[in-house]
Amino acid sequence: MDRRSFIKRTGVASLGIGLNFHKTFSKTKNDITLPIVIATWDVKKATQKAWEILLKNGDSLDAIEQGCRIEEANEKGQSVGIGGLPDREGNVSLDACIMDYKGNCGSVVYLKNIKHAISVARLVMEKTPHVMLAGDGAKKFAVSMGFKEENLLTEKSEADWVKWKKKEKYNPIINIENHDTIGMLAIDKNNNISGGCTTSGLAYKMQGRVGDSPIIGSGLYIDNEIGGAVATGLGEEVIKTVGSFLVVELMRQGYSPEEACKTAIHRIVNKPGSNYQNFQVGYIAINKNGDTGSYAIQKGFSMTKYDMNGNENISSLFFDKKI
Ligand code: SD4
């Protein structure tokens, strides 16, 4: 069983970074080196993009937006952006949210025909007096901001949907193997934390269904004094436990990121009558010191982390009744 959570940090001296260190990295009080970015699932291209921005002294919010856009533009990813699997009626609809270190947030729900939902969410945060825009209003706003409308249903996703329709059996998919909803958390060199989350939601959901990903506190939460958390998996279960807010509040009480994620997962599996065997939920978290952790219900979840030690996909710990 894979019980590894995160890499031990290597001393700066042993890396031989030497005199240029201060130009390239900065340190938190606990001697952790910044910047750092983590994301749900195996999304090394996305963390690479975010890292490049962070390393150039970029802002954590820019790193998050640009990192998430990589997966939104990847047609092969069937749970985010273009190529996302549709609802039961064949519509691809996207949910996304973003939150910065000043406590600002923006989100879009049930956004159709615009692939970069994360960027629309950011503009909701920056250019409107609101936090959330939904459906036609979200699309109208996006178009007014210059986003291009396009068909998000790729041939492959359409063919999968047509195949699914023959049986119309609805079961949440436990782990989508290539990758899944992307949730990302970053700390820049100024020790500021931002986060984002973007998804096409559950495959073959009911038309109009909205998951946890655009709901601040459920799919994502950031408190720049404490840390951040982001969720993936069956959104209904995350919403019912206000998962990401819970993880951050547990870190406020002194839990490590890993312990906080684990406790939030236990909150789901220990509910009376929980049928947790049939679904997946995973959390990743980071605290103000740059410590990271993850935890999931089922085996198969992972986190990608890019810090000064490199870009690595790390298997997550998961719930095990025997422990
Ligand atoms: C949702 N949490 O819409 C998202 C889907 C997801 O891995 O994360 N899938 O419920």
Residue 30, pLDDT score: 58
Residue 6, pLDDT score: 32
Per-residue pLDDT tens over the stretch 231-276: 999 999 999 999 999 999 999 999 999 999 999 999 999 999 999 9
Residue 91 falls inside a structural domain: yes
Asked if residue 211 has its Cβ within 6 Å of ligand 1, the reply is yes
- Protein residue with least CA distance to atom 3, ligand 1: 201
Per-residue pLDDT tens over the stretch 207-234: 999 999 999 999 999 999 999 999 999 9
Residue 48's CATH number? 3.60.20.30
What number is the average pLDDT over the span 299-316? Answer: 95
Q: Rg of the chain over CA atoms, in angstroms? A: 19
Q: Residue 180 CA: which ligand 1 atom is closest?
A: 7
**Domain of 229, in residue numbers:** 3-312
Asked if residue 227 has its Cβ within 6 Å of ligand 1, the reply is no
Asked if residue 182 has its Cβ within 6 Å of ligand 1, the reply is no
Tell how far the Cα of 123 is from the centroid of ligand 1, in angstroms.
22
Backbone angles phi, psi at 221, to 5 degrees: -155, 140
Whether the predicted pLDDT of 22 surpasses 60? no
Write the DSSP string, 284-316.
Answer: EEEETTS-EEEEESSTT-EEEEEETTEEEEEEP
Residue 150 falls inside a structural domain: yes
Tell how far the Cα of 173 is from the centroid of ligand 1, in angstroms.
10
Burial code of 60-99, b = ≥16 C-beta within 10 A, e = fewer?
bbbbbbbbbbbbbebeebbbbbbbbbbbbeebbbbbbbbb
Q: Residue 95 CA: which ligand 1 atom is closest?
A: 3
Asked if residue 233 has its Cβ within 6 Å of ligand 1, the reply is yes
Least confident among 13-17, 147-151, 178-182: 13-17
Q: Which residues are catalytic?
A: 181
Domain count, the chain: 1
Asked whether the beta carbons of 167 and 198 are under 8 A apart, the reply is no
pLDDT band at residue 25 using 50, 70 and 90 as cut-offs? low
Interatomic CA distance for residues 140 and 62, integer angstroms? 24
State which amino acid sits at residue 166: K
Asked if residue 181 has its Cβ within 6 Å of ligand 1, the reply is yes
Interatomic CA distance for residues 61 and 196, integer angstroms? 8
Residue 318 falls inside a structural domain: no
Residue 250 falls inside a structural domain: yes
What number is the average pLDDT over the span 113-119? Answer: 96
Asked if residue 212 has its Cβ within 6 Å of ligand 1, the reply is yes
Q: Residue 209 CA: which ligand 1 atom is closest?
A: 3
Residue 156, pLDDT score: 87
Residue 253, pLDDT score: 97
Residue 8, pLDDT score: 34
Joined together, the tokens standing for residue 75 give 């047609």
Residue 199, pLDDT score: 95
Residue 319 falls inside a structural domain: no
Tell how far the Cα of 247 is from the centroid of ligand 1, in angstroms.
17
Residue 140 falls inside a structural domain: yes
Least confident among 27-31, 247-251, 302-306: 27-31
Asked if residue 78 has its Cβ within 6 Å of ligand 1, the reply is no
Asked whether the beta carbons of 39 and 303 are under 8 A apart, the reply is yes
Whether the predicted pLDDT of 40 surpasses 80? yes
- Protein residue with least CA distance to atom 5, ligand 1: 201
Residue 240 falls inside a structural domain: yes
Whether the predicted pLDDT of 81 surpasses 50? yes
Whether the predicted pLDDT of 203 surpasses 50? yes
Asked if residue 194 has its Cβ within 6 Å of ligand 1, the reply is no
Whether the predicted pLDDT of 17 surpasses 70? no
Tell how far the Cα of 142 is from the centroid of ligand 1, in angstroms.
23
Tell how far the Cα of 92 is from the centroid of ligand 1, in angstroms.
14
Residue 212 falls inside a structural domain: yes
- Protein residue with least CA distance to atom 7, ligand 1: 233
Least confident among 127-136, 209-218, 314-323: 314-323
